[in-house]
Amino acid sequence: MGADRRVLGVDPGLTRCGVAVIDGSPGRKVSLRFIGVLRTDADLPLEIRLVELERGLEALVIEHAPDVVAVERVFSQHNVRTAMATAQAAAVALLVAARRGIEVAVHTPTEVKAAVTGNGRADKAQVTSMVTRVLALSEAPKPADAADAAAIAICQAWRGAAASRLEQARAQQVWQAARR
């Protein structure tokens, strides 16, 4: 068990981007610093919405100084338009972190559900219930995007260090194989 790390969890979305900042580490209680949703107006041009999202994320990074930004991995969904908007929002979060030299972690929805509930196939209600319990909140975070961002941050705090080491080892293997 190491020292607590501050994690900014991001549930990417263009209209509603869930964000949560927690402090925690594997095997330890996590504490909530901030939870909310960054919103953009669907009537605005895409480029303006992306800039607004960037400004909101940048402000959170400045205020909370996370050690790592954890983002949910975007999977192709049935609605291509929704998947594109989600991917664009995720890219903005990655860009904000990279520009400031902050470690980035990406987790699949299954990883997040398994870390928080113990079941990779848990539904949204189960995830929200566990997030509420783990963070000792008096009521469930709303909207669901905020609860999802907290779940992503918790996943990173509890599992992220080991996952990051595995990912670095895999990357090193690929790099060495490419040099041969």
Q: Which of 3, 4, 12, 15 is nearest to 107 (CA)?
A: 12
Distance between CA atoms of residues 41 and 31, nearest Å: 31
**What distance in Å separates the CA atoms of residue 167 and residue 134, rounded to the nearest whole number?**
27
SS3 content of the chain, % helix, strand, coil (to 5): 55, 20, 30
- Whether 148 is a known active-site residue: answer no
Among residues 23, 52, 111, 145, which one is catalytic? 145
Q: What is the pLDDT of residue 68?
A: 97
Known catalytic membership, residue 47: no
pLDDT per residue, tens digit, the chain (180 aa), is: 568 999 999 999 999 999 999 999 998 899 999 999 999 999 999 999 999 999 999 999 999 999 999 999 987 667 788 888 899 999 999 999 999 999 999 999 999 999 999 999 999 999 999 999 999 999 999 999 999 999 999 999 999 755 555 555 555 676 677 777
Strands 5-11, 16-24: parallel, antiparallel or unpaired by DSSP?
A: antiparallel
Set out the domains of the chain in order of their start, with CATH numbers.
Answer: 5-179 (3.30.420.10)
- How much is the pTM? 0.88
Q: Check 11, 52, 111, 148 and give the catalytic one.
A: 11
Q: Give catalytic status of residue 4 as yes or no.
A: no
Q: What are phi and psi of 119, to 5 degrees?
A: -135, 115
In the set 52, 72, 111, 148, the catalytic residue is 72
Q: What is the pLDDT of residue 121?
A: 94
